[in-house]
Amino acid sequence: MLIYFILPIIMLIVYLITKPYQLRVLFIIISFGMMGLVGALRASSVGVDTGTYEFLFTYFTGDPTTASHYPIYDYLSQFTRLFSVNPHAITVVIAVLTAILFAIFLIRVKEINALYAVFLYQAFLLFGTSMNSSRQFLAISLVANAAVFLFKKKWIYFLVLVIVAIEVHSTAVVSLVLIPIYFLKWSQKTMITFLGIISIVFPIKNFMLVQFMRIFPDYAIYDGRGALSANTQGAGGSTLFNLFIFVVYFGIVFFLLQRKTPFTRFESNIIYSYGIYAYLDLILSNLVIVQRIFMYFSIMGIIAIPLLFKKLSENVDRRTYYLINSVFILFMIFYLYIQLEHDYIGIVPYSIF
């Protein structure tokens, strides 16, 4: 477990060294370089699905049935086998490639504090989860970059990356929800109306999930009839975490809207993309299929929250700002510690292959 706390300390030191020279890009590269290295060097036992992906790489690369479900990922596996047939080779490639894509994502979003974003990437357990669902996280890293293209009106790049992401992991199809989010004219009224509609839909969620799986049968593995029906480990802590995030996030959003704080179209898209996730995650957190969908939107939190706190700092006195920010950061550190202490995500103890 110690390695997951040593990494943020090293990153803080790197940030303090690079900040005076305004070397933001270098800080992001070093940070994700370290995370990519840790992910690449992990043993097959680190990450609940790592061994499974290595097994698939060894015995099913090039298999017609398997390739038809995720062709781009299969091409990547075949390319990797040109250099090594060691089962761990695919783990190394995916870990490094995912780290590179997330580094590019943060480099492109210049509006936020890089240290805050890197910290949240770990505190939200995104780094840890990337060592579990590594193939899906590769797709998520592609969708994250696609979202930036969409919110900056570069449609062709968005569609290309989404198609690639879907052919890496079929769950990436849910990223198309970003399109209506982009077109909505967000305001306080819009947000309340949208959340109200979601609340009305909540009682028929099971019916909607069944219809969704008929259209996208690859989601059937998460339909509730097997071990993946619900995430019961740490459920109580996760509920409290979701409630805390909901209260803090929407509290700041509504405060800023009341103050008529100006937001660019890009900022609004990011803030409300994560806002929808924060609300749905609170009311549907016990369904694994929904959690799998949410993963594509939860990544927006690492840029949405620093952006909100930046806006908050412009609207309240320093004492209030530092108090709210400190409470939030301390809570995130505590949540990370609890999750790692009980190893709810299957990455502790860390071991090198």
Cα gap 340→343, rounded to integer Å: 5
Per-residue confidence of the chain (353 residues) as pLDDT tens digits? Answer: 788 999 999 999 999 999 998 999 999 999 999 999 999 999 999 998 899 999 999 999 999 887 888 899 999 999 999 999 999 999 999 999 999 999 999 999 998 999 999 999 999 999 999 998 899 999 999 999 999 999 999 999 999 999 999 999 988 988 998 998 888 777 777 777 877 877 776 677 777 777 777 776 766 666 554 444 444 444 556 778 888 998 999 999 989 988 989 989 899 999 988 988 888 777 776 666 667 777 899 999 999 999 999 999 999 999 999 999 999 999 999 989 888 888 878 898 888 87
pLDDT for 236 equals 53
pLDDT for 12 equals 95
Cα gap 298→202, rounded to integer Å: 20
Taking CA atoms, 201 is separated from 194, 205, 230, in Å, by 11, 6, 20
Helix (H, G, I), strand (E, B) or coil at 34: helix
C-alpha R_g of the chain: 20
pLDDT for 220 equals 66
- Check if the beta carbon of residue 169 is closer than 8 Å to that of residue 139: yes
Cα gap 46→33, rounded to integer Å: 19
pLDDT for 197 equals 75
Cα gap 208→210, rounded to integer Å: 5
pLDDT for 142 equals 97
pTM of the model as a whole: 0.91
Rounded to 5 degrees, φ, ψ at 352 are -100, 140
pLDDT for 208 equals 72
DSSP string, 231-264: --TTHHHHHHHHHHHHHHHHHHHHHHHHTT----
